[in-house]
Amino acid sequence: EAGVAQSPRYKIIEKRQSVAFWCNPISGHATLYWYQQILGQGPKLLIQFQNNGVVDDSQLPKDRFSAERLKGVDSTLKIQPAKLEDSAVYLCASSSPRQGLEQYFGPGTRLTVT
């Protein structure tokens, strides 16, 4: 089966600009996660969707970050306006209770804010 797809793989923007990331989860996976991974740290959960509803977004900086999962499949994560400290890898993951509790991660999008 195809894995989690993310695009773009790399993005360089200037501070105060906006950026959007796209994720296509594994087919049939109802749960989708967005993580932020700063260099040298572990992934930090930003938002979790169950189908097209939000399960948890307590660590999402809502003044600048937004995410949506229309139709319960693909998802986009947006940052507007970006700050220098947003430089990180943004990982998308998906899971299905039929396959257990493990999460399947995409390759990530490396964002550099200058």
Partner 1 sequence: SQKIEQNSEALNIQEGKTATLTCNYTNYSPAYLQWYRQDPGRGPVFLLLIRENEKEKRKERLKVTFDTTLKQSLFHITASQPADSATYLCALGRNAGNMLTFGGGTRLMVKP
Residues found near partner 1 in the complex (CB under 8 A): 4, 31, 40-45, 48, 50, 55-56, 91, 93, 95, 100-108
Minimum Å gap between C-beta 6 and partner 1 is 8
Minimum Å gap between C-beta 86 and partner 1 is 19
Structure token digits, residue 52: 């097209």
Distances 60 to 63, 72, 91, 109 between C-alpha atoms, Å: 9, 19, 14, 17
Cβ atoms of 19 and 13 closer than 8 Å: yes
Nearer to partner 1, 5 or 20 (CB): 5
**Site of tokens 């999962």:** 69
Minimum Å gap between C-beta 26 and partner 1 is 12
